[in-house]
Structure 1
Amino acid sequence: MKRSPVPSVVLDSVRESLVSSSGGLLLREVIGVCGLGRGLSAALSPWRPGRAVHDPGKVLLDVATAVALGGDCLADLAAVRAQPTLFGAVASDPTVSRLFALLAGDVDEAVAAIRAARASARAAVWARRRPLPGTPGTRDGGGQVIVDIDATLVTAHSDKEHAEPTFKKGFGFAPMCTFVDHGEHGTGETLGIDLRPGNASPWNSADHLTALDNALVQLPAHERGQVLVRADTGACSKVFLHKITDLGLDYSIGFQAQDTVKAAIETIPEQAWRAALDGDGEPREGAQVAELTAWMPAPVTQNRASRPGPKNWPHGMRVIARRERPHPGAQLRLTDHNGWRITCFATNTKGPGWTLATLEVRHRQRARCEDRIRCLKDTGLRNLPFHGYNQNRIWVEIVALAADLLAWTQTLAFEEHEPARRWEPKRLRFRLLSVAGRIIHTARRKRLRLPHDWPWNHLIDTGWTSLRTT
């Protein structure tokens, strides 16, 4: 009989004092570095009862830490509570529930306070190590701050407050999310999650305006002048593009391929098309780009009182098209021309170096926004745990806090070209955050010891050193 190469192991009923989330030490250090703990305590002080033992800011940070470590409901706070030597005293489940109910009773002010604390912490992180390439304060040379806006759907598995049927035949909520794109050497930061009922339209211009206002407030003040707003066709409204133009910002917004685009495609000469590029700057086989602005028919001005707001597109808007042969089996649309799949976007970016192909690549990189949404759903957004809508509004702020903690840890702990800076939450947790360790007491100090042969010990060591010295 062949013997098993794995030695037999049985469970011992004796327990030891271990830390099951040793990598959480990096999260705790980031909280101290950026001042998030102090900021939340000050911001939420109006909601602290006079005889309360637990500070509301600390309670929300503990919940955010649990979510960052992989939890998706308040009961998962038990994992943080079980490690007091690492995370300190943690409130009980009833105390946390009472705090959520208290904040939900004054939800607009509570959300504003939490977001103000996040904005202050973000400014501290960016002052310590800017997560974007290029020179801050400049639009050229890679200094642009790209803000992505997109809506997503969150399924509700019970009849929660304001859960509604969605346009994709589901049931739940349709939050509007905004992110900062860190580029090819990083992940991204969550600037805001605005919870909406499931029947909210992805083309609602008022929601896009609110999302943009909330996103700009989250950025450090000196970074707001070189913002590029990037979104899909749901954000392509005259009022939204006029708002961006009036703020002096750039935009790259998906443009609906309607009759005016179809007329321009049929009119534009063949020599106007140029080779498209892939993400590495190499020619993309079977894809071409062209500017349609000069060939688009003059728009018909609508003066009906039922259509408030701007009647025409903003001055300086360019419409750029990309055509590519669709993959086998793909169904052509009415706006496709001679077998080409046509997609368009609008932008106001001009200047040296911004060729049509470069602008098109920049817009296509909006797909990273989908990665950020997937990461949010791996960090507490997949299922909203409360029945009450206001409690769930507080929960999505916790999700944003947890996502920021993970992104800030990667930004501050690792250099730009370190692969760990691009890891998504699942991989970050598995390799760095969930490693077990032992806390020992020696020379009047507490020390955390990691396993001998953990493959990613060097990253934890490097991250700890960087957080302590950067």
Structure 2
Amino acid sequence: MQFLHKPAVVSAAFDDPNLIAQAGLVPVMRLAERCGLPRLVAEKVKLTGAPNGAGAAADAKVAGIVAGMVAGADSIDDLDVLRHGAMPTVFDGIRAPSTLGTFLRAFTHGHALQLHAVHRRFLAELAAHTPLLPGCGEKAFIDVDSTHKRVYGRAKQGAEYGRFKGIRTLHPLLATICTPNARPVIAAVRMRRGKAADSRGAPKFVAEALTTAAEAGCTGLRVLRADSQFYNAGVIAACRRNGARFSITTGMNPSIKRAVHAIPDRAGQQISYPTAVPDPVTGDLVSDAEVAEIPDYTAFASRKKSERVTARLIVRRVRDLAKPATVGAQGELFPVWRYHPFLTDQPAPTLQAEREHRHHAVVEQVIADSKAGAFAHLPSGHFHANAAWLTLWAIAHNLLRATGALTSVFHTKATTATLRATLVHVPARIARSARRITLHLPHNWPWQHAWAHLFETVHDPPQPV
């Protein structure tokens, strides 16, 4: 591509009041209204006693913050992206960033819990009106993980030196829902101080995530997947109280080590990874990974009888290439293995259960997506304002995923960055005639058919399923 005109011919002026830079916000926020986001906020978020009227019109302020996050805002100042061109003609109630910042700083712990209730109910509405979680009536996976978000400056409430030496962080919890055919959506989030233990508050958080999954239509088999920091009796008890199964990495504690080393060498089933190396002679995929199972392993044996858990211990072992095997005259004698055990009570066969457990890593994609979007910064020095910001990001994430699910197969599996680039960041010029507003979008936009389908769908929404 080459520049066709001489530099002297080109000029620029920000003087057109009829342009919109993010025309995709029109169908996206229309979907949010159809699913009741403003109504839910008005019903559940009551900022009574907030100074200077910060709690007034909470529904409009929450919608404004969510719209800004959908457009890519990652700080309070970035929310000013909504105040340009013809945006006030299309949307009502747009607030200045300073007003939205005051609104967030008025939050307390109780108000943050109210916003959590909005998030849970809004996810259920999105799942009812869009194909957000296909197949959730048969099987759904709830993934729980924690992450550290680095912050700068000593004014951030709750920021502490935690896992990483010399780095001040906050330590939020995150739970996602996915199915074998759907990308993950966020079931629950919780902001915590930097030094909080990984499993702090995990049983209650897991119970909330499982309840949210059921409200979102996950009425079939629900499997909670988590890393070893959530391997405790409280988390498993929360799963069983809520009628869910679990698949949790155990780590190599002394009891697990004894059980693992008691497995016969020939008991393992060979597995092949997609990136395995083909054998140059036979062409078969060569892999040193093996999976074995102990059908009745009793975890937490030192606890009282009601807290002990008997389930399947599945162990994957992989050659440890960092530790060369002992080699003698007869060749390799003692290969060195790395063991990856997890405890589960889900009914799938051994190899399928192991493969589905490894898919728990999908939650890391959501965490990476958050830090590339609205969670790139924690914009306030107030802890509860940042907690509200985290919950609003979860609402915006789910809204974008529902938008993609309504649009096309490509957008169903696209990342949120792709959804913004193809559906939201579309420029448009508005024209008004006979009390009607028409959006004139770019000719030959590559995703115009998908965008038009989305626009028509949200203005004539399908019946709830």
TM interval, short-chain normalised? 0.7 to 0.9
- Paired residues for 1:287-436 under 5 Å: 287-293=289-295, 301-302=301-302, 313-315=308-310, 317-326=311-320, 328-329=321-322, 338-350=335-347, 354-414=348-408, 418-436=409-427
Partners of 1:330 and 1:339 lie apart in 2 by 7
Partner of 1:98: 102
2:109 paired residue number: 108
Partner of 1:149, secondary structure, is strand
Q: 1:175 to 1:427 in 2, by over 3 A?
A: same
Residue 14 of structure 1 deviates from its aligned partner by 5.7
The one-letter code matched in structure 2 to 1:382 is: A
Question: What code does the residue aligned with 2:177 have?
Answer: V
Does the CA-based 8 Å contact 1:381-1:399 persist in structure 2? Answer: yes
How many angstroms does 1:299 deviate by?
Answer: 6.9
- In structure 1, the partner of 2:15 is 15
Equivalent-residue separation in structure 2 for 1:390 and 1:331 (angstroms): 51
> Residues 330-386 of structure 1: CA distance to partner in whole angstroms, max 9, x if unpaired?
799xxxx83222101110112xxx211000011000010000111121232122111
Q: Which moved more, 1:186-195 or 1:52-61?
A: 52-61
Measured after TM superposition, the shift of residue 38 of structure 1 is 1.5
**What are structure 2's unaligned runs of at least 5 residues?**
276-283, 326-333
Task: Quickly say closer, same or farther: Cα 1:31–1:13, change in 2 above 3 A.
Answer: same
Deviation of 1:23 after TM superposition, in Å, equals 1.1
Q: Look up the equivalent residue of 2:127 and give its one-letter code.
A: W
Partner of 1:72: 74
Pair 278,300 (structure 1): closer, same or farther in 2 beyond 3 Å: closer
Change (3 A) 1:120 1:239: closer
1:20 positional shift: 0.1
Rounded to whole Å, the distance in 1 between the matches of 2:393 and 2:263 is 47
Q: Does 1:440 align with 2:438?
A: no
* 2:185 counterpart of 1:189: yes
Task: Read off the aligned partner of 2:337 and give its amino acid letter.
Answer: W
Query: 2:62 & 2:336 partners in 1: Cα distance?
Result: 54
The reply to whether residue 237 of structure 1 matches residue 232 of structure 2 is: yes
Paired letter, 1:245: R
User: Contact between 2:319 and 2:337, CA under 8 Å: does it hold in 1?
Assistant: yes
Q: 61-70 vs 4-13, which deviates more? A: 4-13
Aligned equivalents of 1:158 and 1:60: distance in 2? 27
Please give the alpha-carbon distance, in whole angstroms, between the structure 2 residues aligned to 1:217 and 1:300: 26
Q: 1:408, CA displacement in angstroms?
A: 1.8
Deviation at 1:86, TM superposition (A): 3.1
Whether 1:466 aligns to 2:422 is: no
For 1:343, give the aligned amino acid. Answer: H
AA of the residue aligned to 1:90: I
Once the two structures are TM-superposed, the CA of residue 22 in structure 1 deviates from its matched residue by: 1.0
- Output the CA distance in 1 between the equivalents of 2:140 and 2:246: 11
- Is the CA contact 1:378–1:425 (under 8 Å) kept in the aligned structure 2? no
Q: Quote how far apart the aligned CAs of 1:8 are.
A: 3.5
Question: Residues 356, 283 of structure 1: CA spacing in aligned structure 2 closer, same or farther, 3 A cutoff?
Answer: farther
Q: RMSD of aligned C-alpha atoms?
A: 2.9
**% of aligned pairs identical?**
22
Q: How many residues align?
A: 436
Q: Tell me the amino acid that sits aligned with residue 57 of structure 1.
A: D
Q: 1:323 to 1:98 in 2, by over 3 A?
A: same
Which residue of the partner structure matches residue 144 of structure 1?
139
**Cα shift at 1:235:** 0.5
Conserved? CA contact 1:225–1:248, under 8 Å: no
Match of 1:164 among 160, 164, 167: 160
The aligned residue for residue 61 of structure 2 is: 59
How do residues 19-38 of structure 1 correspond to structure 2 at under 5 angstroms?
19-38=20-39
- Contact kept, 8 Å, 1:238 with 1:310, in 2: the verdict is no
- Residues 276 and 21 of structure 1, relative CA distance in 2, 3 Å threshold: same
Contact 1:179 1:192 in 2 (8 A): yes
Q: Which of 237, 243, 250 is residue 255 of structure 1 equivalent to? A: 250
Q: How far apart are the structure 2 equivalents of 1:331 and 1:461? A: 59
AA matched with 1:342: Y
Structure 1 residue 445: Cα displacement = 0.9
Q: 1:241 to 1:431 in 2, by over 3 A?
A: same
**1:300–1:278: structure 2 CA closer, same or farther, 3 Å change rule?**
closer
- CA distance in structure 2 between the aligned counterparts of 1:289 and 1:460, rounded to whole angstroms: 46
Task: Give the structure 1 partner of residue 124 of structure 2.
Answer: 123
Partner deviation per Cα, 1:217-249 (whole Å, 9 max, x = no partner): 433436366321111111001222123223321
Determine the C-alpha separation between the residues in 1 that align with 2:128 and 2:299: 46
**8 Å Cα contact 2:315/2:342 also seen in 1:** yes
Shift of 1:92: 2.3
- Following TM superposition, by how much is the alpha carbon of 1:300 offset from its aligned partner in structure 2, in angstroms? 8.2
Q: Secondary structure of 2:182's partner? A: coil
- CA distance in structure 2 between the partners assigned to 1:383 and 1:258 by the alignment: 37
Alpha-carbon distance between aligned partners in 2 of 1:51 and 1:340, rounded to the nearest angstrom: 63
Report the CA distance between 1:182 and its aligned residue. 4.0
Task: Give the SS at the match of 2:339.
Answer: strand
Does the 8 A contact of 1:277 with 1:358 survive in 2? no
Q: Are 1:179 and 2:176 counterparts?
A: yes
C-alpha separation between the residues in 2 aligned to 1:248 and 1:225? 10
Q: Is the 8 A contact 1:48 1:56 kept in 2?
A: no
Aligned mates of 1:388, 1:171 — CA distance in 2:
15
Counterparts of 2:270 and 2:224, CA distance in 1? 25
- Give the 3 Å change call, closer, same or farther, for CA 227–13 of structure 1 in structure 2: same
User: Which structure has the highest strand share of the two?
Assistant: 2
Flag the 1:210–1:6 CA change in 2: closer, same or farther, 3 A.
Answer: farther
| TM-fit CA distance, 1:320 | 0.2
Contact 2:211–2:242 under 8 Å retained in 1: no
What 5-or-longer segments of structure 1 have no aligned partner?
137-142, 304-308
